[in-house]
Chain A
Amino acid sequence: MDKYLIMKHCIDIKDFTVDEINELIATAEDIIENPVKYAHACNGKKMATLFYEPSTRTRLSFEAAMYELGGVVLGFSEAASSSVSKGESVADTVRTVACYADIIVMRHPKEGAPLVASMKAGIPVINAGDGGHNHPTQTLTDLLTIKREKGGFSGLTIGICGDLKFGRTVHSLINAMSRYPDVSFVLISPEELCIPDYVKEETLIPKNIPFIETTSLDDAMPYLDILYMTRVQRERFFNEADYLRLKDTYILTPDKLKNAKPDLSIMHPLPRVNEISVAVDDDPRACYFRQVRYGKFIRMALILRLLEISV
């Protein structure tokens, strides 16, 4: 397994040390401040986006990132429009695509598919999401957002609200933030969607990270530096009735923010359904659309890093 941890791929956020994440963030911030400097960094380079399931938001973010680095993009946005529909394996697909591209970005419904791709492709592979398993570039986006909005990572109380059970971005964010000092979590969810035991047992408890579990967003609000809202995902439920019962459990409105800190940062990985009221959008503490923009910049930094391009 160790050979896959060589910094040539981005499959799991745990593949990155804290220093490596800090370097990516520093590069992303430099790109934000000096975009022209990077405009031709990837001239002549091609990114292949292999999206076996639809994801307009993530795919567009990667494509914009590559174009703004001066590179080009090819690929497919759904399995039906590729040889995958003929039953081609992931291994064969990436070996073929690697003949045409310099870097692969893959989203796949089966967990572990990007890892298989990284073993076979011979070029860097970025995991753009594999089922409900990992989505490392969302976590990198979240980290850059926190850095930009809060100035750093230490000493923060992070409230995570909504679907803590099936939300891959939640588990990954907890894992990443737990590596910084003096961080604590307030985990806000209905009981049916509480954080899985393995997250507590493998990350929070061994690292002595303070955390509280509560069902009340109102009670938690005054203590939070960051409020990370999540969507209750219909696609993760086997039972439609359970989804309908739980989906509206937490809806953030301006009224709920009355007791919030004046410098609270409100984040959401998007897309949202109704868990954040549009009336919150104009609150300066709402940074979820800035978060989208930061996603493009951290992906630009990641592409440069994996292609070993220095500017």
Chain B
Amino acid sequence: MIIGKIEDGIVLDHITAGRGMEIYRTLHLDELDCSVAMITNADSVKMGRKDIIKIGRVIDINLDVLGFIDPGITVNIIRGGKLYKRERLTLPKSLKGVLKCKNPRCITTVEPELVSEFRLSEVDSRTYRCIYCEALAQLP
């Protein structure tokens, strides 16, 4: 299967196999008016299998959200058919406005316009805690 190179856009590489659709939905890629290609279960020397997403335009991507969902992703910015910039994601140290605290006793359940914020509490287990009540984040 051959999918052509993009001239200007973004390639999300090293997506964990099977996670491509989740990324697609989270980034609302269905709402774009440019070409978007998703390859699932591509061969990978590093990972065995991987998903890849190619987006035919440079768009703003929330790298924290992406890093939270799949921290192994590589974000490649393409300009003029060449690699312009490469970002290797890591687990974000904090997540603002991404997750909702499910603790009914948390102030975020009643305080108007208070943006939720979770901090990375433990790297190995990808544990995030609400900065307000320290409840564990419910991961997607």
Contacts and interface: CB of A to CB of B under 8 A. Distances in A.
Given A1-B94, A89-B112, A112 B119 contact: no
Contacts of B134: 111, 133
A110 B114 contact: no
Given A89-B112, A133-B134, A111 B119 contact: no
B107 A111 contact: yes
B105 A1 contact: no
Interface stretch (B26-34, B69-77, B125-133): B125-133
Contacts of A113: 107, 111
A90 B107 contact: yes
Contacts of A130: 107
Interface residues of B, number: 19
Interface string A77-121: 000000000000111000000000000000011111101100000
Interface string B104-140: 0111111110100101000000000011111100000
B103 interface: yes
Contacts of B107: 90, 108, 110-113, 115-116, 130
Given A1-B94, A115-B132, A133-B134, A89 B111 contact: yes
A113 B111 CA distance: 9
A71 to B, nearest CB: 28
A113 to B, nearest CB: 5
A27 B88 CA distance: 50
Interface of B: 94, 103, 105-112, 114, 117, 119, 130-135
